[in-house]
C-alpha cells in the first residue's frame, strides 16, 4: 500500500512503517553520539514505551546505557486495509535495532492498567532478567479500566471552577481562535485523577515488590508537566494538574515502600514537546509553536530524545540533582528561563491568524507532529508501495 498521512483533528489515522523505523533509527543515532554504556540503568522496564517520552527513555536506556529493556504499550497491529498505529511500528523498529546490536529487548502489547499485563511482565522479568533496576512510568491514556472495580474511567481535559476563555490554534488551517472551555465537575476530575494520577504506578510497584523482581537500589520515575501561567488554566490548575498532583502524592508513598530494597522514587518535570498525548490538549499546540520559535532562536530547543538524554546523563544518576521544593527533578529549566517565558508571553499577546507563520514555529510543530506517524523523514520514499503488514 502507498501510505499517506490522514489527519483528523489532532490525530493521524495512518502511520508509515518505514518512516517510523527511520524516526527510531534517527533517535538511536543521536543517542549513540552521547552514549556511555555500562553507566546508568542496566535492566529497565518502560511503561508507555512505544512513543514520545517513553520511547525516548527506552532508546536512551538501551543505546545510551547498554541496558536490557522490556517495554509495555497499547498499540494496534495492522490489518489488510489499515496500517498499524505508529507505536506498533516503533516497537518493531526498536527491537530489530536492539537485537542487531546484541541487546535484550522485548515488547509486551496490552493494557498496562490490567492485572494480566502486570503478571505477564513479572513472568517475563523472572524468566529473562531476574530483576529490574529502573521502571519508567510514561503512560498517557484517555481511559483506564480500574483493575479492582472494573469501572471504565475517562479522563477529561478541562479547567476547574469557571469557564475559561483561551487562545488556541487550529494546526491544520493555521488559524488562531478563542475557545471557551467548560469546567469539569467533581466526577470528571476524579476520573482524570484515576486515569493519569499515581494509583496505577503504586499498583505496579506493589506487584513488582511482592514478586521480588526489584533489584537493590532500584529506581522508579514518572513524568509530569507543570509549564507556565500561559498553560496553567488548562493544565496545572486544571483536571490534568490534579492528576499530576496525585502523581506527586504517589511518589512519596512509593519512595517509602521501596525502603526494603534501598530503592527510590521521583517525579521528573519535563519540557513541552509534540507527542500524540500533548497534541490533544487545547492551547498546547499554540503554546508549543511559539515556545519552539523562541527556544530555537535562543539555541536551547530540545526534542524528546535530546531532552531524555540530558535527563539520563546529567540528572537521573547524579548526586547533584536539580530538585524543586517537593523533590521533583526539574528538566523544564530551559523552558521556564525568564527570557524564554517573557518572550513567549510577549508573542502570546500579539499572535493572530495573520502573523502566526512569522511569530511561531508552525512549520516545526507540523513537522514534529507528522514525524510521530512516520511522515516527513529524510530518506524515505513516500511514493513507493510498502508492506504495511511488515511480513517481508
Q: Can residue 73 be called a binding residue for ligand NAD (CB under 6 A)? A: yes
Distance CA 52, CA 74 (A): 13
Of 5-13, 45-53, 170-178, 259-267, which segment contacts ligand NAD by CB under 6 A?
A: 45-53
| 311 within 8 A of 329, measured Cβ to Cβ | yes
Of 137-145, 183-191, 317-325, 384-392, which segment contacts ligand NAD by CB under 6 A?
A: 137-145
Alpha carbon of residue 354 to chain centroid: 32
Binder to ligand NAD among 17, 40, 51, 241 (CB under 6 A)?
51
Give the long-range contacts of residues 117-124, CB within 8 A, separation 24 or more.
117/72, 118/203, 118/204, 118/207, 119/207, 121/45, 121/70, 121/72, 122/207, 122/208, 122/211, 122/213, 124/70
From its phi and psi, is residue 342 left (phi > 0), alpha (psi between -120 and 50) or beta?
alpha
Report, in Å, the least distance between residue 305 CB and ligand NAD: 12
Report, in Å, the least distance between residue 74 CB and ligand NAD: 4
- Write down how long the chain is: 392
Instruction: Pick the catalytic residue from 89, 235, 287, 365.
Output: 235
Site string for ligand NAD, 184-223 (x = CB under 6 A): ---------------------------------------x
User: Does residue 235 carry a catalytic annotation?
Assistant: yes
Report, in Å, the least distance between residue 385 CB and ligand NAD: 27
Binder to ligand NAD among 193, 270, 340, 377 (CB under 6 A)?
270
Q: Can residue 111 be called a binding residue for ligand NAD (CB under 6 A)? A: yes
**With respect to ligand NAD, which residue has the nearer C-beta, 176 or 195?**
195
Axis-axis angle for helices 115-124, 199-210 (nearest 10): 40
Task: For residue 330, report the phi and psi dihedrals to the nearest 5 degrees.
Answer: -100, 105
390 burial (CB, 10 Å; 0-12 / 13-18 / 19+) is middle
Nearest partner of 296 among 330, 269, 335, judged by Cα: 335
Binder to ligand NAD among 138, 155, 228, 309 (CB under 6 A)?
138
| 298 within 8 A of 339, measured Cβ to Cβ | yes
Report, in Å, the least distance between residue 101 CB and ligand NAD: 22
Q: Whose CB is nearest to ligand NAD?
A: 52
Site for ligand NAD in 79-108 (CB under 6 A): 87
**With respect to ligand NAD, which residue has the nearer C-beta, 148 or 383?**
148
- Footprint of ligand NAD (CB under 6 A): 48-54, 72-75, 87, 111-113, 138-141, 223-225, 270, 272-273, 275-278
Q: Could you give the residue numbers annotated as active site?
A: 235
Amino acid at each position: 500500500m502507498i501510505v499517506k498521512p490522514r489527519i483528523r483533528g489532532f490525530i493521524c489515522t495512518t502511520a508509515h512503517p518505514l518512516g517510523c523505523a527511520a524516526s527510531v533509527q534517527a533517535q538511536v543515532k543521536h543517542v549513540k553520539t552521547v552514549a556511555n554504556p555500562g553507566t546508568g540503568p542496566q535492566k529497565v522496564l518502560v511503561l508507555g514505551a512505544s512513543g514520545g517520552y517513553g520511547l525516548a527513555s527506552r532508546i536512551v536506556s538501551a543505546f545510551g546505557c547498554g541496558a536490557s529493556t522490556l517495554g509495555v504499550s497499547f498499540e494496534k497491529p495492522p490489518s489488510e486495509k489499515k496500517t498499524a498505529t505508529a507505536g506498533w511500528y516503533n516497537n518493531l523498529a526498536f527491537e530489530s535495532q536492539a537485537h542487531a546490536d546484541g541487546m535484550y529487548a522485548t515488547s509486551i502489547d496490552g493494557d498496562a492498567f490490567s492485572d494480566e499485563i502486570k503478571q505477564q511482565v513479572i513472568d517475563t522479568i523472572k524468566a529473562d532478567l531476574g530483576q529490574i533496576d529502573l521502571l519508567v512510568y510514561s503512560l498517557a491514556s484517555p481511559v483506564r479500566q480500574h483493575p479492582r472495580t472494573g469501572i471504565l474511567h475517562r479522563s477529561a481535559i478541562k479547567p476547574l471552577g469557571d469557564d475559561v476563555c483561551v487562545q488556541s490554534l487550529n494546526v491544520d488551517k493555521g488559524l488562531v481562535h478563542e475557545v471557551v472551555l467548560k469546567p469539569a465537575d467533581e466526577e470528571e476530575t476524579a476520573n482524570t485523577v484515576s486515569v493519569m494520577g499515581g494509583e496505577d504506578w503504586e499498583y505496579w510497584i506493589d506487584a513488582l515488590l511482592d514478586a521480588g523482581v526489584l533489584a537493590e537500589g532500584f529506581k522508579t520515575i514518572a513524568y509530569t508537566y507543570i509549564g507556565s501561567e500561559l498553560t496553567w488554566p488548562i493544565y496545572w490548575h486544571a483536571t490534568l494538574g490534579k492528576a499530576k498532583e496525585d502523581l506527586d502524592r504517589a511518589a512519596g508513598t512509593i519512595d517509602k515502600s521501596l525502603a526494603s530494597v534501598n530503592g527510590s522514587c521521583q517525579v521528573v518535570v519535563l519540557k513541552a514537546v509534540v507527542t500524540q498525548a500533548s497534541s490533544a490538549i487545547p492551547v498546547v499546540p499554540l503554546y508549543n509553536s511559539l515556545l519552539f520559535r523562541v527556544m530555537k532562536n535562543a539555541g536551547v530547543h530540545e526534542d524528546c530524545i535530546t531532552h531524555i538524554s540530558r535527563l539520563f546523563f546529567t540528572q537521573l544518576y547524579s548526586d547533584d540533582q536539580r530538585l524543586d521544593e517537593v523533590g521533583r527533578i526539574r528538566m523544564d529549566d530551559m523552558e521556564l528561563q525568564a527570557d524564554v517565558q517573557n518572550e513567549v508571553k510577549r508573542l502570546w499577546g500579539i499572535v493572530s491568524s495573520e502573523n502566526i507563520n512569522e511569530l511561531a514555529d508552525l512549520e516545526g510543530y507540523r513537522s514534529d507532529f507528522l514525524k510521530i506517524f512516520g511522515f516527513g523523514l529524510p530518506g524515505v520514499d513516500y511514493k513507493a508501495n510498502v508492506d504495511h503488514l511488515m511480513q517481508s
